[in-house]
Amino acid sequence: MYNLLKGKKGIIFGALDENSIAWKTAERVHEEGGQFVLTNAPVAMRMGKINDLAEKTGAQIIPADATNMEDLQNLVVKAMEILGGKLDFVLHSIGMSVNVRKNIPYTESNYEYYAKGWDVSALSFHKVCQTLHKNDAMNQWGSIVALTYIAAQRTFPDYNDMADNKAYLESIARSFGYFYGKDKKVRINTISQSPTATTAGQGVKGFDGFITYANLMSPLGNATAEDCANYTVSLFSDLTRMVTMQNLYHDGGFSNVGVTPEVIASMNK
């Protein structure tokens, strides 16, 4: 390890189980010398194994609904108390669509469900950034990262309303990133990750097909959750101090490839 995050402190949202990118990131941050608090919504915490991760990494857990401003205020204040000062990094690894869970087609979206998914998956990122900003909770050159997917730019029909949520999420990173950068020299970026076999990802219809197709299209193959954790660590580190307001593709090259012989061969079988 390189001690890239030695002395740095932060918050990691969304660690559910060993398959989640947030879980892998927490492990890597710990290995690189960083300290953090873990947080997730109470209902998600009951479903996952976050206590095991906390024990492994020496982290404390602060339950918080990322759509609730009071919860976020409590989280940020307590995190600074526990960690002994301002924060250097925050990972937003949250996504949920009720329409997807209930197998409702995009063209027949239930708008109450739509609004709930948007609040959890996208608007919560603005709420997190606003709470951090209002509390002057980030050190200069701190780094805030959210996870996204290329369906924000391209049509993946079965990704449903999550595609809209991710597009909104990426816009928040650009817009809030400008103001946070001007005010406090804080960086905000999104990582557009390969389809990854997380608990949340596997809830999308046809997700195994997403993974297989992306792997055939990508010259380097799909980026794993562990790969994404490493990339996130680099964005938390001082090595990327001048990177902000970017949507950064971490997909083995998928985003720049039109077609490959492997895909053509699979269609000709």
Catalytic positions, written as ranges: 149, 159
Count the residues in the chain: 269
CB atoms under 10 Å from CB of 2, counted, come to 11
Residue 56 C-alpha from the chain's centroid: 21
**166 belongs to an annotated ligand binding site:** yes
CB-count exposure of residue 208 (10 Å: 0-12, 13-18, 19+): exposed
**9 belongs to an annotated ligand binding site:** no
- Report the sign of the C-alpha dihedral through residues 4, 45, 66, 107, in that order: positive
CA–CA dist 119, 116 (Å, integer) = 5
CA–CA dist 72, 82 (Å, integer) = 15
CB-count exposure of residue 33 (10 Å: 0-12, 13-18, 19+): middle
CA–CA dist 225, 227 (Å, integer) = 5
CA–CA dist 145, 12 (Å, integer) = 10
Cβ contacts of 258 within 8 Å, gap of 6 or more = none
**184 belongs to an annotated ligand binding site:** no
**20 belongs to an annotated ligand binding site:** yes
Q: Strand 138-148 relative to strand 60-61: parallel, antiparallel, unpaired?
A: unpaired
CA–CA dist 79, 12 (Å, integer) = 11
Angle between helices 261-268 and 207-217 (to 10 degrees): 130
**177 belongs to an annotated ligand binding site:** no
Binding positions? 14, 20-21, 94, 166
> Which residue positions form the known binding site for NAD(+)?
14, 20-21, 94, 166
